[in-house]
Amino acid sequence: MVAPSTKPLKFNWLSDASVTISLAFGRGSLTEGFPTITAQIWEMDVPLPQQFVGQLPPFPDLLNSLQQWQTVYLALAQRLQLGRQRQAEGMRSFDDDDDDFEIEEDAVTHVSQVSFEDLSQRLQRQLNEWLLSPGFTPIVQALRSHLSPEMPLRLILQTDDPHLHHLPWQGWQFLVDYPLAEVALSQPQFYRLKEITPQKKRQQVRILAILGSSQGIDLTAEQQQLSEIPDAEVQFLTQPSRQEFDTALWDDQGWDILFFAGHSQTEQQTGRLYLHDGPEHRSLTLEHLQEGLRTALERGLQLAIFNSCDGLGLANSLGNLQIPVTIVMREPVPNRVAQDFFQRFLEGYAIAQLPLYQAVKQARRQLQGLENDYPGAAWLPIICQNSALLPPTWLQLGGLPPCPYRGLNTFQEQDAAVYFGRESLREKLVERLQSQPLLPLVGASGSGKSSLVFAGIVPQLRQDARYDWAIQVMRPENDPVAKLAHAVAMWQPDISETKLLQSFRGDTQSLGTALGQIQQTQPRQTRRLLIIDQFEELFTLNHPEAQRQFLDLLVAAIQEAPQFVVLLTLRADCVGPVLEHPGLGKLWQRHEPEFLLPLSRADLQAAIAQPAALMGVRFEPGLVEKIITEVQDQVGNLPLLEFALTQLWPHQEKGWLTHTAYENLGGITAALRDYAEQVYGKLSADQRPQVQALFLQLIQVREGAEATRRILPQTEVKAWPLALQLASERLLTTNRDPIRNTETVEIVHEALIRHWQRLQGWIADNADFLRWQTRLNNAIEQWESHNNSDGYLLRQAPLVEAEFWLDKSPDRLSDAQRFFINLGLDLRTQEETAIALRQQRELDQERRIRRGAQKLAVLSSVALVLLGLAGGWTWWERQRSLRIIETVSINSSATTPTLLRDLPRFLTIAQRRQNTGDFDLAIAYYQKILQEITKLQARPDLAAAQQQELQSLASQTEQQLVALIQQQKLPTLETALAQGEFGSLKPETNLLDYEDQYTPGALRETYGLLLRPQGTNADLNQDGEINNPTEAQQLPCQLLQDLEALWRDHTDQQCGFYGDRSFYAAPTCAPLQGRTLTETIFVGDYEAIATQLKACQVAPESADPYE
């Protein structure tokens, strides 16, 4: 269900408060003039009008221009088969492609010297010249003297002259100068029907939608647009017969709106509708439906919309029946224009609930954006009005006014008009902000702190006559200094946010300095207000060092920066940590916090009743008192109250909120609980476990404290589509983090945590895990803030606990959490191995002393032990490193931005491992990075800039991998070659023996460097082959060139990857029995291998891979 509108108030929702201007043209024509024109101004609550008289002279040139404009427009329409060609056999076929509306002068043969645009401009210019005639000037002057340009105006032209109906009145300069004015047509004779009321009590606006002939046009858009109106009941008749149409008009309940989409045309002074595509009985005039239409009018029909061609004849027929309002297209209309207009009109009238004239004007003006392809589009829609009746508002038709309550959402600045209940406190807090640099606002969760700030205090400051307030808002979240830098940078766009952040992290005085520099560029009366909402996040989401750094910056700025004011909101249970900071504690003593107490009974009365009254909705007697009695007993009651009222709103009956509807909701507490259960109940069996995991992921539990919500970026939420679904149901809320440039999600309000029993059960069942997860997240933040130093990895008991949860619930941990834990496990293993080796050396020393006579034997034994330990450690380290990387590697469903973010982090860790001497682990990281880059580069969603970024990262990684191999591995190969220990291929081995296929020596080392984990690990699937281009491309050019050079240097230029004319035969290479390295090392896709060797300039470009 579409949520009720919550847009700011601009109009009276009970009635259209516009002023009506009527211009009665009387007898006359463009060729004869109009000798008597009567203008009247009708104002709300004024029973009699003001009246003025004028005249207009003949202007045949205007008539000629209009006729030329129509001729050209209709010629264009016919060329595109949008106009109506009358044929003896009936209505012609329509082309399927009627959206290519372009001007080509060749299509208009008899006016080929005049472009359509010139004709339009001339017609508009001549209309304004005519309306500047001296005889008409008194009317215009009187209108301007009595009416303000800010007034919403209805200008009704009362005339039966068909030429006046087609003139572009929207471009009259008077209407241009009155931006809230819109024009309508009316018959000169009109009368007021008896009061139009529905036959039966309605809960929604009833719409009869006729979808007629659709040859060449698409009516699905209009059908969908009508179906999505939240407070409308729509009955569709698709290509009905005349009898079906007529029967529907007689419906006992009556209709509020009659809608038609399809083909239509004007014949003389009447209109014809084409109902279906069949060969017979497919069209009718409205006179054929006269009795049904008259009955529908008696039963409540107030608005007719014909989203079809050439509708003035239809409007004339309905005008004879005295229908209040009809909306038609004056000329043939392209399908795209009709669809766009209707969509924009519904958005304004039914959703935003603008007055009808304003909704039409807004939708019509938006058609100007289509006029490059559809010239004249904005001139087509026109209102036809019964001058004796007022146009209905959506609310008067039976629709719901916008809901003034905000559910679990915080009131924002644009909601100030519907925010009631703390007026006196608001005035007090504004005065405090004008005279002091710090104002802490403290209250229980759900007491309305944020709403008071944004909907109460901020709008009041905007109107402050004493100061100009520059206001920025931040939440600490899990990186408060970065959020602070972003907020400060918004005050001065030419300041680098990156440089600000760097200075904030290194200098406590830098915030005050930056604010002082900004203030020097501003007027003295400018005060900068930094609103820190949910200040408790500083303590619940950040480690102590981050808290101290942020508070040091803030305190120094409050004490020193001129005209700098801080307003913070804080949960009452988090006051203690604030006072522990010496500087902030002293500021709090000097500027005492304002404790937000529960609303008084009178304030609750205002918060409940006044927003509804503003919308013209009332509570049944005693209902407000009943709600107050219930809500006063609830801790943190305001979110529950707002949510219950939001749920109650759609169930109003004719403008009344009832006891029955409230009882059906179950009261204040049950409303939220039951709604959450309804949303959960609609989920599939597969989705429900995911929902539990998602909610638990969005919750943190600290020791001795209640569960609170936490914000997560999209990259850490596996079930992001589900998160968006729950956000649309208003259980979660999404936002965008401008610093990380990513979407975020959180639980909509902590009231949901406290009052949804199912969620409380999940929390209770998983309390140990949630408390541990909160500690883990704090540890990760501290590690990251210290440049990923090993000194801040988990150790001892915390590591043992983390290992337990990693083994028990790996799926509940994010990639970042598993990565962090595995780094700790890796470090522990290294330290344990180092201890074991040291103990062995100590034991060996003791044995030497005790058994001097057996020194040589002991030394040999120890050497063997150490060699075994070292060799075992080397193998174990490699396997361990591969397991770690496999654990933290991103799965195939990860988003491209996630991979682009994480791969540089792996590279940094690889470099650090290399710098600390963990060469095998560093090589394993480099290999994994290159493999992930290869997979990512194959993704179809990769943008050009991302491809470039990955290519740069791949080049950097490969260079570092090769450099490490050159430093640590190639010397072993070079020694073997220098000593002539070439090795050979063993008989009776298979590919899965890997390097064991070779005897010890240079061949074995070369194979390992190219295909195995100790080198480039190009054999990605570990099948002993290079069997595709992807694997071949894992062979770095620099390494291939180094290997080629070494083998050539130590074999008198006889042995390498390429022979004289072949990749396989090298007759003069005795060490390899006349074969090349390509033949001896590689098996698989030789074409891919040869391609890589040629690309790396190891083999000539002309070499044939099959020779």
pLDDT at position 895, please? 56
- Say yes or no: 1047 and 1010 in one domain: yes
CB atoms within 10 A of CB 523: 9
- Say yes or no: 519 and 493 in one domain: yes
Higher pLDDT, 916 or 395: 395
Q: What is the mean pLDDT of residues 670-692?
A: 88
Contact present, 20 and 39 (Cβ < 8 Å) = no
Contact present, 206 and 257 (Cβ < 8 Å) = yes
d(CA 194, CA 211): 30
Contact present, 589 and 565 (Cβ < 8 Å) = no
Say whether 570 sits in a helix, a strand or coil: strand
d(CA 325, CA 551): 63
Higher pLDDT, 900 or 189: 189
Which of 991, 993, 988 has its CA nearest to residue 1027?
991
785, part of any domain: no
Higher pLDDT, 446 or 107: 446
Which region among 49-63, 774-788, 1052-1066 has the lowest average model confidence (pLDDT)? 774-788
Higher pLDDT, 784 or 415: 415
Task: Say whether pLDDT at 449 is over 60.
Answer: yes
969's tokens: 């591995």
d(CA 1048, CA 1050): 6
- Say yes or no: 487 and 628 in one domain: no
143, part of any domain: yes
Task: Give residue 84's pLDDT band: very low, low, confident or very high (50, 70, 90).
Answer: very low
299, part of any domain: yes
Last residue of a domain, which of 674, 699, 725? Answer: 674
Which of 788, 823, 822 has its CA nearest to residue 806?
822
Which region among 369-383, 416-430, 734-748, 983-997 has the lowest average model confidence (pLDDT)? 734-748
- CB neighbour list of residue 858: distance below 8 Å, 6 or more residues apart: 844, 847, 848, 851
CB-neighbour burial class of residue 1029 (10 A; exposed 0-12, middle 13-18, buried 19+): middle
CATH number at residue 487: 3.40.50.300
- CB neighbour list of residue 1051: distance below 8 Å, 6 or more residues apart: 977, 1069, 1071
Write a three-state SS string for 334-349: CHHHHHHHHHHHHHHH
Q: What is the mean pLDDT of residues 79-99?
A: 40
- Say yes or no: 620 and 656 in one domain: yes
Last residue of a domain, which of 650, 674, 698? Answer: 674
d(CA 903, CA 946): 13
pLDDT in tens, 564-592: 999 999 988 788 888 889 899 999 999 99
Contact present, 641 and 668 (Cβ < 8 Å) = yes
690, part of any domain: yes
Q: How many Cα atoms occupy the beta-carbon half-sphere of 316 within 13 Å?
A: 19
Q: What is the mean pLDDT of residues 968-977?
A: 93
- Say yes or no: 502 and 616 in one domain: no
pTM for the structure as a whole: 0.57
Which region among 132-146, 685-699, 929-943, 1086-1100 has the lowest average model confidence (pLDDT)? 929-943
Which residue in the block uniquely carries the two structure tokens 């507490």? 669
pLDDT at position 281, please? 52
pLDDT at position 882, please? 45
998, part of any domain: yes
- Say yes or no: 670 and 688 in one domain: no
Number of domains in the chain: 6
- Say yes or no: 28 and 162 in one domain: yes
Q: How many residues are there in the chain?
A: 1107
846, part of any domain: no
pLDDT in tens, 687-705: 899 899 899 989 888 877 7
pLDDT in tens, 379-432: 999 999 988 888 998 888 888 888 999 988 899 999 999 999 999 999 999 999
CATH number at residue 320: 3.40.50.1460
805, part of any domain: no
CA 827 to chain centre: 41
pLDDT at position 113, please? 34
d(CA 474, CA 487): 6
CA 1082 to chain centre: 51
Q: Which domain holds residue 736?
A: 684-776
- Say yes or no: 472 and 509 in one domain: yes
Which residue in the block uniquely carries the two structure tokens 């501003």? 522
306, part of any domain: yes
pLDDT in tens, 100-118: 333 333 433 443 334 788 8
Which of 983, 985, 1015 has its CA nearest to residue 1000?
983
469's tokens: 């307030």
884's tokens: 């770690």
Which residue in the block uniquely carries the two structure tokens 């309508």? 184
Task: Give residue 11's pLDDT band: very low, low, confident or very high (50, 70, 90).
Answer: very low
- Say yes or no: 483 and 566 in one domain: yes
Last residue of a domain, which of 776, 797, 815? Answer: 776
Higher pLDDT, 10 or 999: 999
- Say yes or no: 373 and 433 in one domain: no
Handedness of CA 188, 194, 195, 196 (dihedral sign): negative
Angstrom distances, CA of residue 1014 to CA of 577, 922, 963, 1038: 51, 10, 14, 17
Provide the mean pLDDT of the chain: 84
Q: Which amino acid is at 224?
A: Q
Highest mean pLDDT (candidates 18-22, 191-195, 713-717): 18-22
Q: What is the mean pLDDT of residues 1002-1028?
A: 90
Contact present, 299 and 258 (Cβ < 8 Å) = no
- Say yes or no: 364 and 223 in one domain: yes
Which of 483, 490, 561, 465 has its CA nearest to residue 519?
561
1046's tokens: 């070494």
Task: Say whether pLDDT at 435 is over 80.
Answer: yes
426-456 in b/e burial notation, b at 16+ Cβ within 10 A? beebbebbeeebbbbbbbbbbbbbbbbbbbb
- Say yes or no: 742 and 716 in one domain: yes
Phi then psi for residue 228, to 5 deg, are -95, 0
